[in-house]
A and B are shown apart, each in its own frame.
Chain A
């Protein structure tokens, strides 16, 4: 059969045509060539689609490279394609919802691209180690994550702090050095690995602060960079710094953790498992048992042969998951979840089991009632609303066991008769009024997919959240609406997120104070001065202002000393995130000066403001108050150290606390207040070393002369917390301190009349009930 016979007949040659003989044949060959080309190209595309080449990679190294390249390019689809399918399931819908919502707010979803920055990965070097069949660990041996400006200009950190904030913060945290380049105009961030040495002041609690001199020095550092480079091989070391650092006062070099990824084979393609990667890295930096990677291979085999805990229906799958917690075996729970989601945890099951056993709580529950409504069924994912779920069983904690019953009914969960419901403002704002679970179709039935469930609910939140909530999440810098108010009481209306920004004119030197009506619960009350007209996106810029959250029947109050004349901004955030009318009282002007022992006058009716001069060299924390009030940070210059004192109710007295920092000696020769004559039973020179019995130590305090008593209780237990209480002869609490710090001390400065008191130190929250405690008097 000739080729021409399969083609449509050529048009008749017109009379007089100059078309040479054989042209029809050439066209035939041309048509054939084009058809062949079309078939080949379409075939290539079809193979890419049908062979599923897009998901996963052909080798473990390629999977990691795809993942990192996708992340650098901010291509969520590419990164998701490199991930284990279960970890990516539903994430794109969330990403889509977020991007659409950001677009509706005219915001760019690509953090770096939106600021004209481009990220890339240079000189990536990877190695791979086979851990078990279908399980590999890929190590990043070399390569650099680079951020540059698209237009080749230097990066101005001042302009791009938003997207780079975390990275710059990480750099500062890990002592990334800033070096000037050859031209001297720019600089390059070069990191040689993380370090835990800092220029700032360590307060012994893992926090540090710059002194004014260091802050000034920091300001002089170049803020324009040619490019930012982060060595990928040190990525996990950076990430591990905060974890390795907590609770460790011995600052040395940071942890040296290889940057590795756990890569798992699903459907003959390799995928990065973030769940497994995190577990693997944590296991390596802790004393976890040796992981059993063969368990993951077995789980993958079981999934392929349909030999897993699967529900025949979505309801069965929900029952199965709830009841899998029964005997406290971690692997039973993992078996009831999708293997492509939790597979990476199997090698670490024994470590997880140790954690579960340490907690010592097992819930043996049986589902007695389950009613669900199917919401959707598409792409292998079934979404069901749990209308009602009732379960009964036993909670076993150590040697104790109790009967337990719980009922989930719509948006309310009742456990042992105690009902908790989703807050009404949350339901209004998100439309989430109950539990909607996402289940995935697997071999033989269904399994609950907790991550897809989370993604789905977050997507709902992203789509439904009122704009006011979103702008608030984007940071206060995006607040546009401001409500001008003058002095006196004004009723203002908050936005749908319970937020309002007041604009108050004030002159330098004035004390500006704002009080929210008593009874209204306030989450935040911040003053931003005229010197910083744009609301900053971090609260630390509140300039020597202070606020008192108030209490029952007491107003929340914020006060600040104005440093620059103009409109000052006050951001009021109500606890209830919905539009509401609220009365605010604004006062501007001079305030009386008080000294320790003075009561603060309520010159504004429900509240009062006073100033206190701490003199030269004053320190934060030198003064405190009794009653519903608070003192502000010290505003220091060479001559004085001014603080503000706010009283949110009557009877607030300024008192000297006189401690400079945690752990330093207190109360020695620095009190202006009259001291009590008091003795602590068994103490020598005011110090008593005693032991706790059943978590409590009780010591008699005899006061023979009225006055102020300073008590300090110290434990050296690294677990738990302590509370310090003074009780009178009737057993009534005179004062109590429980600042909530772990393994530190609690102190009380209390005014006592002559009499016999009991000092009680109680350890809780996991502390040693038979440990030692030191009690110091005055």
Chain B
């Protein structure tokens, strides 16, 4: 058992780091491979909104576009931190990031969860999806890998 422990404790931070990085970097990549936003990344969209060139983007969408990389940055920065409170906050942020990713995949990448045949996701959407999956996996790994103070054997 003693030999497996370092590996087990290394998994959640690694997963959180992957999730955070993916959720951050997605903002620099395009979310669709064809049509609208196939050559424009979320940061470009936010820049256009800020410059007043885009008026059709709703406030909720702007919040989501800003929130996702910020959540990614926080998850990345806190990936190696430990402690019960840290885990709880990270879990909440991770779930929030997964939710926002899901909403943006439907709204921005026009992903129809019931029919993926017509989906044209770009690298940004794929990376965001990967980040969300990594966040879910990290959540599970965190649960299965209690902190030393929770299981002080």
Q: In the complex, are the beta carbons of B45 and A77 less than 8 A apart?
A: yes
Q: How far is the CA of A16 from the CA of B69 in the complex (A)?
A: 40
Q: How far is the CA of A475 from the CA of B87 in the complex (A)?
A: 58
Say if the beta carbon of B140 comes within 8 Å of chain A: no
Min CB gap B108→A, angstroms:
11
Given contacts A54-B47, A78-B39, contact A39 B73 (CB under 8 A): yes
Contact with A along B17-50 (1 / 0, CB 8 A): 1001100110110001011111111011111101
Q: In the complex, are the beta carbons of B55 and A70 less than 8 A apart?
A: no
Q: Which chain B residue shows the least CB distance to A379?
A: B55
Say if the beta carbon of B70 comes within 8 Å of chain A: yes
- On chain A, which size bracket covers the interface? 35 or more
Stretch touching chain A among B78-86, B98-106, B129-137: B78-86
Q: Which chain B residue shows the least CB distance to A85?
A: B53
Say if the beta carbon of A44 comes within 8 Å of chain B: yes
Inter-chain contacts of A74 with B (CB < 8 A)? 34-36, 38
Q: In the complex, are the beta carbons of A110 and B35 less than 8 A apart?
A: yes
Inter-chain contacts of A109 with B (CB < 8 A)? 35-36
Contact with B along A171-215 (1 / 0, CB 8 A): 000000000000000000000000000000000000000000000
Q: In the complex, are the beta carbons of A85 and B38 less than 8 A apart?
A: no
Min CB gap B147→A, angstroms:
7
Q: How far is the CA of A16 from the CA of B56 in the complex (A)?
A: 60
The one of A30, A38, A70, A113 that contacts B39, using a Cβ cutoff of 8 Å: A70
Q: In the complex, are the beta carbons of B149 and A11 less than 8 A apart?
A: yes
Inter-chain contacts of B74 with A (CB < 8 A)? 38
Q: Which chain A residue shows the least CB distance to B47?
A: A54
Q: Which chain A residue shows the least CB distance to B110?
A: A103
Q: In the complex, are the beta carbons of B43 and A54 less than 8 A apart?
A: yes
Say if the beta carbon of B51 comes within 8 Å of chain A: yes
Say if the beta carbon of A92 comes within 8 Å of chain B: yes
Q: Which chain B residue shows the least CB distance to A16?
A: B153
Count of chain A to chain B residue pairs whose CB atoms are closer than 8 Å in the complex: 166
Inter-chain contacts of B40 with A (CB < 8 A)? 54, 70, 75, 77-78, 81
Say if the beta carbon of A80 comes within 8 Å of chain B: yes
Q: How far is the CA of A683 from the CA of B5 in the complex (A)?
A: 116
Min CB gap A348→B, angstroms:
25
Say if the beta carbon of A421 comes within 8 Å of chain B: no
Contact with B along A6-43 (1 / 0, CB 8 A): 00101111111110000000010011001101110110
The one of A41, A53, A110 that contacts B21, using a Cβ cutoff of 8 Å: A41
Min CB gap B50→A, angstroms:
6
Inter-chain contacts of B17 with A (CB < 8 A)? 34
Say if the beta carbon of A665 comes within 8 Å of chain B: no
Q: In the complex, are the beta carbons of A81 and B44 less than 8 A apart?
A: yes
Q: Which chain A residue shows the least CB distance to B149?
A: A11
Inter-chain contacts of B51 with A (CB < 8 A)? 52, 54-55, 85
Q: Residues of B within 8 Å of A, CB-based: how many?
A: 54
Given contacts A41-B25, A45-B43, A48-B43, contact A81 B53 (CB under 8 A): yes
Say if the beta carbon of B63 comes within 8 Å of chain A: no
Q: In the complex, are the beta carbons of B69 and A45 less than 8 A apart?
A: yes
Inter-chain contacts of B56 with A (CB < 8 A)? 92-93, 95-97
Inter-chain contacts of A12 with B (CB < 8 A)? 149
Given contacts A75-B35, A75-B37, A81-B40, contact A55 B53 (CB under 8 A): yes
The one of B46, B48, B76, B148 that contacts A34, using a Cβ cutoff of 8 Å: B76
Inter-chain contacts of A70 with B (CB < 8 A)? 39-40
Say if the beta carbon of A89 comes within 8 Å of chain B: yes
Say if the beta carbon of B52 comes within 8 Å of chain A: yes
Say if the beta carbon of A357 comes within 8 Å of chain B: no
Q: In the complex, are the beta carbons of A69 and B73 less than 8 A apart?
A: no
Q: In the complex, are the beta carbons of A38 and B47 less than 8 A apart?
A: no
Given contacts A38-B76, A93-B56, contact A76 B28 (CB under 8 A): no
Given contacts A38-B73, A69-B39, contact A50 B52 (CB under 8 A): no
Say if the beta carbon of A73 comes within 8 Å of chain B: yes
Inter-chain contacts of B43 with A (CB < 8 A)? 45, 48-49, 54
Given contacts A34-B80, A74-B35, A379-B52, contact A55 B69 (CB under 8 A): no
7 contacts between A and B (CB under 8 A): A38-B74, A45-B24, A53-B44, A73-B39, A75-B40, A77-B45, A92-B57
* Nearest 5 interchain pairs by C-beta: A54-B47, A54-B44, A96-B56, A110-B35, A48-B43
**Besides A48-B28, A89-B53, A92-B57, 13 new A-B residue pairs in contact (Cβ under 8 A), listed by A number:** A45-B24, A55-B53, A74-B36, A75-B38, A75-B40, A81-B44, A81-B48, A90-B55, A95-B36, A97-B56, A110-B34, A113-B120, A381-B55
Partner-A contacts on B (CB < 8 A) = 2, 5, 13, 17, 20-21, 24-25, 27-28, 32, 34-41, 43-48, 50-57, 69-70, 72-74, 76-83, 86, 118, 120, 147-149, 152-153
